[in-house]
Amino acid sequence: MRIDVVTIFPAFFDVLEVSLLGRARGSGILDVRVHDLRDHTHDRHRTVDDTPYGGGAGMVMKPEPWGEVLDAIASDDGASDDPVIIFPSPAGERFTQATARELSGERHLVFGCGRYEGIDERVFSYAAGLGRVRLVSLGDYVLNGGEVAAMAMIEAVGRLVPGVVGNPLSLVEESHEDGLLEYPSYTKPASWRGLDVPDVLLSGHHGRVGEWRHAQQVERTRTRRPDLLPD
């Protein structure tokens, strides 16, 4: 999978070099390229924003650098490519595990990270001529910019790309894959600082273990995330 990221803070994405995704990049499964939006400005101060038409607080990202960088990304891969162009935004549709699954089947993702006051609206219209545009939000809270949100989405999507996570079975029994929260996990020792592993897990009885885990999933979901359960 090819992933292009556009940002005024390329250093945010240095952490993609470590851990699981770092290994996937090294092995060529993920081809991540980070673009500095300021490299597509032409004034001495490398200006990326300006005051909003109609007045109001904050600054708005100028369209010209965005047009240039999106053109560069689109022409780099040939016009036959039809990337999904994602703009992280608290005003977007909600990002869920289903979104991550869907995106993990794509060949090319572009993340456009804006500051939260916003990007000139015409950039989204222009980008729609280069790919399938989606504004996507992590949840109902506000971050300063799209970078941290894009990182979260890249990790959630990237780990679902075949070959990134070594054992694909480890992706099956996770929170949100079956609509329930994950069951609790324990490892050795069986007794630690007066706290014991539940007996059923030591019983060797696979049927009872399975039933206990499912009951734990339902109970946790009921208490922590009742919104996930049917009424």
Does 67 bind ligand 6GU (CB under 6 A)? Our answer is no
Segment lying near ligand 6GU (by CB under 6 A), choices 2-10, 57-65, 98-106, 134-142: 134-142
Give the shortest CB-43-to-ligand 6GU separation in angstroms.
Answer: 26
**Given 146, 151, 154, 157, the residue binding ligand 6GU (CB under 6 A):** 146
Dihedral of the alpha carbons of 158, 154, 128, 82, in degrees to the nearest 10: -20
Residue 195 among known ligand-binding residues: no
Does 216 bind ligand 6GU (CB under 6 A)? Our answer is no
Which of left, alpha, beta for 58 (phi over 0: left; psi -120 to 50: alpha)? left
Does 5 bind ligand 6GU (CB under 6 A)? Our answer is no
CB 84 within 8 A of CB 106: yes
Residue 183 among known ligand-binding residues: no
Strand partners, 112: 6
Residues 78-117 within binding reach of ligand 6GU (CB under 6 A):
88-90, 116
Give the nearer residue to ligand 6GU in terms of CB position, either 112 or 183. Answer: 112
What are the two backbone dihedrals, phi and then psi, of residue 205, each rounded to the nearest 5 degrees? -95, 100
Q: Give the start-end residues of each E strand in the chain.
A: 2-7, 31-36, 49-50, 60-61, 84-94, 108-112, 132-137, 191-192, 195-196
Structure tokens at 123: 């950039």
**Given 69, 73, 149, 151, the residue binding ligand 6GU (CB under 6 A):** 149
Does 53 bind ligand 6GU (CB under 6 A)? Our answer is no
Q: By CB under 6 A, how many residues form the interface with ligand 6GU?
A: 14
CB 89 within 8 A of CB 135: yes
Question: CA–CA separation, 220 vs 175, rounded Å?
Answer: 11
Q: Which residues bind ligand 6GU (CB under 6 A)?
A: 88-90, 116, 136-139, 141-143, 145-146, 149
Binding-site residue numbers are 114, 138-143
Binding-site residue numbers for S-adenosyl-L-methionine are 114, 138-143
